[in-house]
Amino acid sequence: MTRYTRIILINDQDQGVREFTISHRMVWLLGILGVLLAGMVAWVLLGYGAMSRRAARVPGLEAEATAARAELARVAALEAELESMRAMQERVLLMLGVDAPAAANANDGAADEIGRLASAVMTDPPNGWPAAGFATREFEGGSAAEGVLPHRGLDIAGPEGAPILAAGDGVVIRTGIDRYLGNFVEIQHGLGYLTVYGHCLRMAVVSGEQVRRGQVVAYMGASGEASAPHLHFEIWHNGMAVDPRGFLSGEPPAP
């Protein structure tokens, strides 16, 4: 037997009476629907509150991300500085012909050599003409990928056997033979500058030797890929070839 619930509505104005009859099953169904609706409303409100809290945290997270990026940039700069110092240490040891593990056991003579090298590394950039003669080819930039064959230095023609001079104070870090440059000398100067002297007839210095500006370091020849005696002179700064004309005034002295 189905049970019913009677609902009576009385209107105060016209004194009318309205009566509704709802089964108990319908009452239970409406109650369950009410509970589900209330649960959905509560779930929506909770989700909105969580979204609001996350939105409120966005400015703080952006500030934290900006600070983290700045910290990463500082770390990268510090790593680059440490790498530069490590490379400088290796170059110094290479100049001295000392292996890194043996540096801790260096004797007083090696210590004196390091001091002498340090004083040379802090010298001015090279700015003296390395040879007398006539400039026959200028510095030319570009790259093979661009269809331009670069010429990384300045050519100075002169008589065979003419002296080649150090363009500045420094330390000879390498002498040797190259397929293109022939007999060559490399000198390390201060502030990251390096000079190269190519096509030499013969060298007058050895690796590790300290030189002064104007000192004879080699003699002009035509070794390597050269059709006539001349000096191929290069200046490098921090690993990049630069135009020697930016450091040398006027023209080379007459032979």
| Residue-range domain boundaries for the chain | 4-63, 134-246
The per-residue pLDDT for 102 is 44
Closest CA to 138 of 246, 255, 254, 253: 246
The per-residue pLDDT for 190 is 87
**How far apart, in whole angstroms, are the C-alpha atoms of residue 167 and residue 144?**
29
Which residues touch 92 (CB under 8 Å, ≥6 apart)? 114, 117, 118, 121
**CA torsion sign, 193 to 124 to 217 to 114?**
negative
**How far apart, in whole angstroms, are the C-alpha atoms of residue 207 and residue 184?**
11
Digitized pLDDT (tens) for each residue of the chain, 255 residues in all: 556 666 665 666 655 666 667 676 777 787 788 888 888 888 877 777 777 666 666 666 666 667 667 666 766 766 776 676 677 667 666 554 445 444 444 455 555 555 555 555 556 899 999 999 999 999 998 666 666 678 999 999 999 999 999 999 999 999 999 999 999 999 999 889 999 999 999 999 999 999 999 999 999 999 999 999 999 999 999 999 999 999 999 999 998
The full length of the chain comes to 255
Burial letters 22-57, b for 16+ CB under 10 A, else e: eeeeeeeeeeeeeeeeeeeeeeeeeeeeeeeeeeee
The per-residue pLDDT for 68 is 64
**How far apart, in whole angstroms, are the C-alpha atoms of residue 172 and residue 81?**
25
Cβ(24)–Cβ(5) below 8 Å: yes
CATH superfamily entry for domain 134-246: Glucose Permease (Domain IIA) (2.70.70.10)
The per-residue pLDDT for 17 is 66
Structure tokens at 60: 């703080």
